[in-house]
């Protein structure tokens, strides 16, 4: 399942370069091109779902895999113990700009709450 004009589907296909830090059969994790913290990695399912709600609704365990992959990334990046943020911006008002579901793994510095 992919969309020809989707940026992250094109990264999965290897058509656009990305710094991949972790991968499984069904997930891929790569560094955000515009990092907001020392660790800023995007974790995606290889298949195309527009947002976290669509991924969860598909109900085949892939949402679980994405979250497990996010934690594996945090461990590899050395931020799991200190703490990290896992963010799924969902919809335009939340700031989602790429409509292929992705979890932001953000860490390596003290993060404020609430977000802007
Ligand atoms: P959103 O705003 O949809 O939650 O997050 C999209 C993220 O994708 C942004 O943090 C943005 O910096 C990142 N991004 C956009 N284009 C690219 C790209 O071509 N490569 C990578 N690695 N990240 C990208
Ligand atoms: Zn896609």
pLDDT tens digits, one per residue of 37-63:
999 999 999 999 999 999 999 989 999
Q: Is 93 in the pocket of ligand 1 (CB under 6 A)?
A: no
Q: Indicate which atom in ligand 1 lies nearest the CA of residue 98.
A: 3
Minimum-distance ligand 1 atom for the alpha carbon of 96: 3
Q: Which of 40, 48, 102, 104 is catalytic?
A: 102
Q: Is 18 in the pocket of ligand 1 (CB under 6 A)?
A: yes
Q: Is the CB of 33 under 6 A from ligand 1?
A: yes
Alpha-carbon distance of 78 to 60, in angstroms, equals 29
89 lines ligand 1 (CB under 6 A): yes
pLDDT at 116: 82
Q: Per-residue confidence at 4, pLDDT binned at 50, 70, 90?
A: confident
Give the distance, in angstroms, between the CA of residue 99 and the centroid of all CA atoms in the same chain: 12
How far away, in angstroms, is 82 Cα from ligand 2 center?
32
Q: Do residues 85 and 111 touch, judged by C-beta distance below 8 A?
A: yes
47 CB contacts (<8 Å, ≥6 apart)?
1, 2, 26, 62
pLDDT of 13 higher than 90: yes
**3 or 17, greater pLDDT:** 17
The reported pTM is 0.98
């Amino acid at each position: 399942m992919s969309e020809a004009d989707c940026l992250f589907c094109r990264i999965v296909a290897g058509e656009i370069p990305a710094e991949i830090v972790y991968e499984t059969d069904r997930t891929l994790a790569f560094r955000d091109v515009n990092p907001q913290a020392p660790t800023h990695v995007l974790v995606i399912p290889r298949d195309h779902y527009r947002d976290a709600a669509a991924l969860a609704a598909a109900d085949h365990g892939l949402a679980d895999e994405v979250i497990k992959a996010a934690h594996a990334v945090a461990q590899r990046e050395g931020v799991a113990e200190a703490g990290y943020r896992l963010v799924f911006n969902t919809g335009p008002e939340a700031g989602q700009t790429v409509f292929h579901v992705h979890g932001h793994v953000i860490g390596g510095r003290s993060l404020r709450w609430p977000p802007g």
